Amino acid sequence: MKTSLFLSAVFILALFTFTTGTLAQDWKNTNPGMNNVIVDTTLLRAIVVTIEPGQKSDAHTHPANFFYALTDGKLLVHYTDGGEETYDLKAGDAGYGDPERPHVTENVGEQTVKFLLVELKEHPYMK
């Protein structure tokens, strides 16, 4: 009886630790003011992302994903390991990305950037 109670407690603690660590960098949870979730299933999540000029996200990761730019704009992605990438988007640009390491996204342009982001939940970012 004591062994099964102990194992249950360990399982619950491990589940809580894993879940909070995973959710801490989830785009949807770390940046709720920048996204409008339009579909959320066990397989994928579709989000309309809106980033105002000068606005910067909190650090987050993405599973494998597809994006479609709804507006023109310029984004600077700061990776927490020190790298940076600049994206000059044009409305209609599209692309696919593998699971993405922790980063902060900043709108360095003069207009609001809006894009559709479809995240494939079965292919998460793994350290």
Is residue 97 domain-resident?
yes
Give the model's pLDDT for residue 114.
98
Is residue 42 domain-resident?
yes
Is residue 127 domain-resident?
no
Domain that holds residue 19: 2-120
Q: How many domains does the chain have?
A: 1
Please tell me whether the overall predicted TM-score, pTM, comes out greater than 0.85 for this model.
no
CATH code for position 113: 2.60.120.10
Is residue 75 domain-resident?
yes
Give the model's pLDDT for residue 93.
98
Among 79, 82, 86, 84, CA closest to 101: 79
Write out residues in the chain with pLDDT < 50, as ranges: 4-24
Give the model's pLDDT for residue 18.
39
> What is the C-alpha to C-alpha distance for residues 72 and 78, in angstroms, rounded to an integer?
20
Give the model's pLDDT for residue 82.
94
Is residue 125 domain-resident?
no
Give the model's pLDDT for residue 32.
87
Is residue 126 domain-resident?
no
- Pairing verdict, β 35-40 and 44-51: antiparallel
Give the model's pLDDT for residue 1.
55
> What is the C-alpha to C-alpha distance for residues 101 and 98, in angstroms, rounded to an integer?
9
What are the φ and ψ backbone dihedral angles of 63, each rounded to 5 degrees? -75, 180
Give the model's pLDDT for residue 106.
98
